[in-house]
Amino acid sequence: MNFFAKLKKTFTKEQKEENKTYEQGLTKTRDDFVHKLNLLGIKYSKVDNAYFDELEEILIEADIGVNTVFELLKKLKARAKEEHITSVKDLNETMVDEMFMIYVGEDSLSDKLNMAKSGPTVVLVVGVNGVGKTTSIAKLAHKYKNEGKKVMLIAGDTFRAGAVEQLKLWADKTDSLFYGKDNTDPSGVIFDGIDKAIEEEADIVIIDTAGRLHNKKNLMQELEKINRVIKKKIPDAPHETLLVIDAATGQNGITQALAFKEITNITGIILTKLDGTAKGGIVLAIREEVKLPVKFIGLGEKMEDLKSFDIENYIYGLFKDLM
């Protein structure tokens, strides 16, 4: 069974609910993207070079990324030739298959959170200011509290005005433990916070960090120091370092990801505000160009709207109207 056919299969009640969330969250991207594909199908009765030229523009506008688009088109053209595909409908089905294969790839990138075998799981959260870092931390806390975990938030963004207080409010709202101090060395705060987390037998510790990228050298030194102090308390931590990217920033988000990847060991991406943009193709660009898995996506403003990423649900949400 090809992937397109698999997407049309019968789903369980739980799968239908999850599909619905993705379907609603990806409405802007789907409406724009699929509408253009449909118009292209009306304009061209069969697949030819002119069709591929216009398809390339549509894919780039969806922010799938230039390199990813070229790779995708190369595969589509090869399959069209090999399988004698001339109809637009058949090519669309092939495109769904190839997009899935691009994301899955040959690497075994896991979209699951790496949990500690014993003691607290430490999740370090990084990203520039304004991308939704603090609210993503709150939503993660809410998710794991609902799963019965004891969660602690540590405010490592100590010098930005109001950052510590804001995280404390979210800790209270999500019924999480909290540790933070204003205007002090972030590493010291994180060191003491992890001490408290171990003492309180927390299951998951989520650490906020400063969102500066304009001085990469300083940020690199700060993150190196933070990693050192975490390892003093828990040698195999942090278990995850998640980079938060605003989906609406498109290719600028890719630039941020590449810059952060240079300065610390990023293990996955939280992609926020995916519901508010027509540039939902960025998921594929991140996978292809940054070589990192998307672990969570923001599909709305409610606490429940931060979802563990699922490539099948994502592609279903993107292409539902073609089925």
- Per-residue model confidence as pLDDT tens digits over 179-210: 999 999 999 999 999 999 999 999 999 999 99
Q: What is the pLDDT of residue 1?
A: 47
**3-state class percentages of the chain: helix first, strand second, coil last, to nearest 5:** 55, 10, 30
Describe the crossing of helices 88-104 and 66-82 by its angle, rounded to 10 degrees.
130
In the chain, list all ranges with CATH 3.40.50.300.
121-309
Cis peptide before 186 (omega within 30 of 0): no
Strand pairing category for 294-298 and 306-308:
antiparallel
DSSP one-letter code for 12: P
Q: Specify the DSSP class assigned to residue 147.
A: T
Residue with tokens 């075998």: 117
Q: What are phi and psi of 139, to 5 degrees?
A: -70, -35
> What's residue 216's pLDDT?
80
Q: What does the pLDDT read at residue 316?
A: 84
List the CATH code of the domain at 12-104. 1.20.120.140
Which pLDDT score, from 0 to 100, does residue 270 have?
Answer: 96
Among candidate residues 275, 284, 281, the one with its CA nearest the CA of residue 302: 275
What string of pLDDT tens digits covers the 323 residues of the chain? 465 666 656 566 666 677 788 888 899 988 888 889 989 999 998 899 999 999 999 998 888 888 889 999 999 999 999 999 999 989 988 998 888 888 887 665 566 788 998 889 999 999 998 899 999 999 999 999 999 999 999 999 998 889 999 999 999 999 999 999 999 999 999 999 999 999 999 999 999 999 877 778 888 899 999 999 999 999 999 999 999 999 988 888 899 999 999 889 999 999 999 998 888 888 888 888 888 999 999 998 899 999 999 888 888 888 887 76
Pair 296, 270: CB distance under 8 Å? yes
Q: Residue 17 belongs to what H/E stretch?
A: helix 13-25
Q: Tell me how far CA of residue 147 lies from CA of 151, 163, 172, 203, 235, in angstroms.
A: 10, 26, 17, 11, 26
| pTM given for the model | 0.91
In angstroms, rounded to a whole number, what is the distance separating the alpha carbons of residues 141 and 149?
Answer: 9
CA neighbours closer than 13 Å in the CB half-sphere of residue 51 = 22
- Where are the strands (E) in the chain, listed by range? 121-126, 151-155, 177-180, 204-208, 240-246, 268-272, 294-298, 306-308
The CATH 1.20.120.140 domain(s) of the chain lie at 12-104
Confidence at residue 8, expressed as pLDDT on a 0 to 100 scale: 59
CATH superfamily, region 121-309: P-loop containing nucleotide triphosphate hydrolases (3.40.50.300)
Q: Where are the alpha helices (DSSP H) in 44-124?
A: 49-61, 66-82, 88-104
